[in-house]
Structure 1
Amino acid sequence: MASTSEVGHAKNVANFQDLIEFVTGYGATYNPSKSSLKLAQLVALKATAETKLTDVISKNTNYNNKVNERMVAFSNLKSLSTRLVNALQTTDATTATVNDAKTFNRKMQGKKASSTQTPTDPNAPAPATISTSQQSYDQLIQHLTGLKSVLEEEPSYTPNEVELQIATIVAKIADLTAKNTAVSTAYTNISNSRISRNETLYTSDNGIFETASEVKKYIKSVFGASSPQYNQVSGIKFSKPRL
């Protein structure tokens, strides 16, 4: 479900279209000297805003999908770590080597279990700041890497089970790293997309929020404060969220 602020952005653009419809109806009487207030520029600004809104939605969905893909990839990591230690204990490894492996496993088990997380709705708004769990995922990868280092240094660790073999663990680490990086990249993309959208709607002097205000002022100056034309547009609301 989209947040109130996300819905508010779309409402502002929809209201800007209403303003354009009234301006169009005024015909040649609406003839501002300022370029950004001319009808053609208003139509172009609205089209740009719609493109920015669509881009945010697309990148938001991609971010949530990448988060879900990472969650699935990490879901069996703790059980895998325990299996690897158990497999090591059935070899000729020394007590010291086994204890080293157990140390990494304890660290692994101490981190927040990604398997208990609820899949993210692809349409839910991405967070305003990247989750602090990002560091936990980085550390989980490091713990598995440390455990892998212990196993590959033990000559007698040669399991027949493919999922426990060193080559499989190496591939697992590469996959986890790639999926973790993909989340960071997707978050950067949605963050930048929001900045671009906000500039078009709010922060630019020629954005929708400021332009709508100036259009209303121009209509007021042309037709008068008590005119039906100004009454048409004065009630069109544009909200500016806290950015």
Structure 2
Amino acid sequence: MTSTFETGHAKNVANFQDLISFVTGYGSTYNPSKNSLKLPQLNALYTASQTSLADVVAKNTTYNNKVNERVLAFKDLKSLSTRLINALQATDASEQKVADAKAFNKKMQGIRSKAVEISNDPNTPAPKTISTSQQSYDQQIQHLAGIISVLQSEPSYTPNETDLQIATLTAKQADLTAKNSAVATAYTNVSNSRIARDTTIYGTDTGLFDVATEVKKYIKSVFGATSPQFAQVKGIEFTKKKK
């Protein structure tokens, strides 16, 4: 479900469009000296705000897709690790070498990362931090690397099963690393997009929120506090972003 906080941004932009509609209706009577309050600049700010909202949605969707891809890639990793231990035990490997591999597998099986919930709503915000889950995936990759290292050191480890062979495992490790990195990159992109959106909508003096407030004040000064024109716009609500 889309959070109230996220939908508030879109509501501010929609209300700004309503404000512009009234301003347009005033014709030449609306003639502020401040450049940022002029109609062309208001329209430009509205367009920029719409663009910033759309960019957050697009980048957030990409982030969610990358998370889904990572979940699928890591899905069978624990079971694969156990199979690798069983395969190693079927070789001439020493007890110590098997114990070393088992130690990595034990760490692999012990990771209990909370599942990432993905919403079908593209507006659903990405988590505020991915440090915990990122670390968990990083660790799983390292545990796999440890098992591969042990297997590579055993000359008798030559399985016929393709998915258990060293070349396949090395390729899988590279793929997991790439997908994990892709999530981190996508998260950075959506985070930066939110910063840009907030600057456009809430930036001091130049943001949509402050500009809308000044437009209302100008309309009040031109038509009067009890005028029907000011009555049209004074009730248009703009919500300040909480810090």
| Short-chain TM bin | over 0.9
Question: Aligned partners of 2:189 and 2:116: how far apart in 1?
Answer: 23
Q: Which runs of 4+ in 1 moved over 4 A?
A: none
- CA shift for structure 1 position 203: 2.3
Q: What is the root-mean-square deviation of aligned Cα atoms in Å?
A: 1.2
Q: Which residue of 1 aligns with 2:43?
A: 43
Question: What displacement does 1:129 show?
Answer: 2.0
- 1:69-103 deviation line (CA, Å, top 9, x unaligned): 10010010000000000000000000010000000
Query: 1:68 touches 1:119 (CA, 8 Å); kept in 2?
Result: no
Q: 1:106 to 1:19 in 2, by over 3 A?
A: same
Instruction: Indicate the SS of the match to 2:126.
Output: coil
Q: Is the 8 A contact 2:113 2:133 kept in 1?
A: no
Corresponding position of 1:203: 203
The one-letter amino acid paired with 2:118 is T
1:132 counterpart = 2:132: yes
CA distance in 1, matches of 2:213, 2:113: 50
Q: Which runs of 5+ in 1 are unaligned?
A: none
Letter in 1 for 2:34: K
The answer to whether the Cα contact below 8 Å between 2:113 and 2:136 also exists between their aligned partners in 1 is no
Verify the 8 A CA contact 1:70 1:179 in the aligned structure 2. yes
Identity %: 68
1:11 is matched with which residue? Answer: 11
- Cα shift readout 1:7-48 (whole Å, capped 9, x = no counterpart): 111110000000000000000000000000000000000000
Residue pair 1:201, 1:209 contacting (<8 A) in 2 also:
yes
Asked whether the 8 Å contact 2:162–2:168 carries over to 1, the reply is yes
Distance in 1 (CA, whole Å) between partners of 2:64 and 2:93 is: 43
1:119 deviates by 5.3
Report what 1:169 is aligned to: 169
Number of equivalences: 241
CA–CA separation in structure 2 for the residues paired with 1:67 and 1:187: 10
Name the SS for the 1:173 alignment partner: helix
Instruction: Give the partner amino acid of 2:82.
Output: T
**119-128 or 223-232, which deviates more:** 119-128
CA distance in 2, matches of 1:170, 1:158: 14
- The residue type equivalent to 2:66 in the other structure is K
> What amino acid is the match of 1:120?
I
TM-score (norm 2): 0.97
In the TM superposition, what is the alpha-carbon distance from 1:241 to its structure 2 partner?
2.3
* Change beyond 3 A, Cα 1:183–1:118: closer
Q: Distance in 1 between matches of 2:30 and 2:129?
A: 43
Under a length normalisation based on structure 1, what TM-score does the superposition of the two structures give?
0.97
In structure 2, what is the equivalent of residue 157 of structure 1? Answer: 157
Deviations 1:176-203 (A, max 9, x none): 0000000000000000000000000012
Q: Offset of 1:144 from its aligned partner?
A: 0.2
* Cα distance between partner residues in 2 of 1:53 and 1:135: 30
Query: Is this contact kept in 1: 2:220–2:230, CA < 8 A?
Result: yes
User: Aligned equivalents of 2:12 and 2:48: distance in 1?
Assistant: 13
